[in-house]
């Protein structure tokens, strides 16, 4: 595979040029990582099976885990999906471009490798000028999973992409840090009642305002071998640092007390402790390394800091033996997705 990954820093002065260089690589069947509003994606021509195969190889992603197809205009939707319900159109109207992915009936032009052999296709229109310009210039929908090695925390900066995939992809466009920080909400709208397959950037409450009833079709736990899941992505390890992660949940005071107890007992065993912690709890405890999730009742900040924090505390130079995570973040709106990612990343969950 590619030995050298091109890093394309994009700004006002070179916007057009950079997009056209990157689009050229995509048109040739190459792979380009790019920023979206949620996390960085690893893009390839969604309709070219050879190009899409390179995504799976670079990430080490299981072949039955389908990809999200990214579009920049409603014209492309007709090309790839069919039997789209009025509810689906209403949701597109309300949330596109934005962090909502809709699972729709696919058309045959979408290759099996993109959909993991399913008869549905997941589609979203990202809310990021670089992403939209790139899709337009490439002239084709882009398949793009999060641009991390499979199983690792998702990338929220180009640096994260490079640390996972350098030498394994053709290029990365560096457009700075993302805004949302967790992935899109995945909603299956192929049945009468929509099913949430993954919580994400758009909160359940917001979706309910438009569709009334929704079914929660995901769990926060890693699903065991052999269980039936509606979204293939559910059954794999996710968002996991190499370092052990202990998540402490409960109300603020209880969490602070429990974390302080844990820090003491790990320190007695001569383990170096890292904390991913809200500002409020940080007033009560300290450890070898600390990374802020922001204020407890601002889940938007926790979303933005979550993956960068896990990656920082998992870094070689900080040399931490255990990461203790403050789970007192408000579980509301995007906070639902934050807690979901933390539970999936955790090796141990403690109710304080
Ligand atoms: O915010 C995002 O969604 C980011 C950015 C780059 O757009 N992308 C992303 O892709 O998170 P990925 O591949 O990391 O996660 C896609 C999720 C997986 O859990 C996958 O199983 C599910 O969407 N998915 C994709 N196609 C599906 C389908 N046809 N039916 C059910 N689930 C599907
Ligand atoms: Mg992912």
Cβ partners under 8 Å of residue 251, min gap 6:
328, 352
Average pLDDT over residues 60-76: 96
Enter the tokens of residue 44.
């390839």
Cα 262 off chain centre by? 29
Are the CB atoms for 310 and 164 separated by under 8 Å? no
Answer whether 125 contacts ligand 1 (Cβ < 6 A): no
Cβ partners under 8 Å of residue 268, min gap 6:
none
Are the CB atoms for 5 and 166 separated by under 8 Å? yes
> For the chain, which residues make up each domain, given as ranges?
6-181, 244-351
Are the CB atoms for 154 and 239 separated by under 8 Å? yes
* Residue range 133-187, pLDDT digits in tens: 999 999 999 999 999 999 999 999 999 999 999 999 999 999 999 999 999 999 9
The CATH code of the domain at 6-181 is 3.90.870.10
Per-residue pLDDT band at 322 (split at 50, 70, 90): very high
Enter the tokens of residue 128.
């990021």
Q: What are phi and psi of 336, to 5 degrees?
A: -60, -40
Q: Which residue's CA is the closest to the ligand 1 atom numbered 30? A: 231
CA-to-CA distance for 280 and 284, rounded, in angstroms? Answer: 8
Q: Which residue, among 185, 176, 182, has the nearest Cα to 34 in the 3D structure?
A: 176
Counting from 1 in the atom list of ligand 1, the atom nearest the Cα of 184 is 1
Q: Whats the size of the chain, residue-wise?
A: 352
* Residue range 245-261, pLDDT digits in tens: 999 999 999 999 999 99
Answer whether 68 contacts ligand 1 (Cβ < 6 A): yes
6-181 shares its CATH topology with 244-351: no
What pLDDT, on the 0 to 100 scale, is given for residue 231? 61
Answer whether 67 contacts ligand 1 (Cβ < 6 A): yes
Three-state SS at 181: coil
Three-state SS at 293: strand
What DSSP string describes 83-149? S--HHHHHHHHHH-SSSEEEEEEEPTTS-HHHHTT-SEEEEE----HHHHHHHHHHTS-EE--BSS-
**Distance from the CA of 186 to the center of ligand 1, in angstroms?**
7
Per-residue pLDDT band at 230 (split at 50, 70, 90): low
Three-state SS at 301: helix
What pLDDT, on the 0 to 100 scale, is given for residue 154? 97
Average pLDDT over residues 47-71: 97
Answer whether 66 contacts ligand 1 (Cβ < 6 A): yes
What pLDDT, on the 0 to 100 scale, is given for residue 106? 98
Mutate to test the pocket of ligand 1, among 183, 304, 307 (most ligand atoms within 8 A of CB): 183
Per-residue pLDDT band at 238 (split at 50, 70, 90): confident
Answer whether 35 contacts ligand 1 (Cβ < 6 A): no
From the CA of 184, which ligand is nearest? 1
Statement: residue 120 has pLDDT above 60: yes
Answer whether 203 contacts ligand 1 (Cβ < 6 A): no
Instruction: Cite the beta strand spans of 184-321 per DSSP E.
Output: 185-188, 195-198, 215-216, 244-249, 273-278, 289-294
**Distance from the CA of 258 to the center of ligand 2, in angstroms?**
31
Average pLDDT over residues 210-234: 72
Q: Domain 244-351 belongs to what topology?
A: Rossmann fold (3.40.50)
**Distance from the CA of 171 to the center of ligand 2, in angstroms?**
19
**Distance from the CA of 145 to the center of ligand 2, in angstroms?**
6
Per-residue pLDDT band at 225 (split at 50, 70, 90): very low
């Amino acid at each position: 595979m590619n030995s050298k990954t091109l890093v394309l820093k994009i700004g006002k002065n070179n916007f057009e040029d950079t997009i056209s260089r990157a689009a050229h690589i995509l048109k040739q069947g190459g792979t380009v990582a790019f920023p979206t509003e949620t996390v960085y994606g690893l893009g390839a021509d969604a309709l070219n099976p050879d190009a899409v195969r390179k995504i799976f190889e670079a990430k080490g992603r299981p072949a039955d885990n389908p990809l999200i197809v990214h579009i920049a205009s409603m014209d492309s939707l007709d090309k790839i999906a069919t039997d789209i319900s009025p509810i689906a159109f209403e949701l597109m109207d309300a949330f596109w471009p934005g962090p909502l992915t809709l699972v729709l009936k696919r058309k045959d032009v979408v290759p099996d490798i993109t959909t993991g052999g399913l008869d549905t296709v997941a589609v979203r229109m990202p809310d990021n000028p670089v992403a939209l310009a790139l899709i337009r210039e490439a002239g084709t929908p882009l398949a793009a999973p999060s641009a991390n090695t499979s199983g690792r925390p998702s990338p929220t900066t180009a640096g994260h992409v490079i640390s996972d995939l350098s030498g394994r992809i053709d290029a990365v466009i560096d457009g700075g840090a993302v805004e949302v920080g967790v992935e899109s909400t995945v909603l299956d709208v192929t049945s009468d009642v929509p099913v949430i397959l993954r919580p994400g950037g758009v909160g359940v409450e917001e979706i309910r305002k438009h569709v009334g009833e929704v079914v929660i079709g995901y769990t926060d736990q890693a699903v065991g071998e052999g269980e039936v899941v509606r979204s293939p992505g559910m059954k794999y390890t996710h968002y996991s640092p190499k370092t052990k992660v202990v998540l402490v949940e409960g109300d603020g005071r209880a969490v602070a007390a429990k974390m302080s107890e844990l820090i003491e007992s790990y320190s007695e065993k001569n383990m170096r402790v890292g904390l991913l912690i809200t500002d409020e709890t940080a007033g009560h405890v300290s450890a070898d390394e600390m990374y802020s999730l922001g204020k407890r009742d601002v889940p938007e900040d926790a979303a933005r800091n979550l993956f960068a924090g896990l990656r920082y505390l998992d870094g070689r130079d900080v040399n931490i033996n255990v990461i203790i995570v403050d789970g007192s973040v408000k579980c509301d709106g995007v906070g639902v997705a934050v807690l979901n990612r933390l539970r999936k990343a955790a090796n141990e969950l403690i109710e304080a």
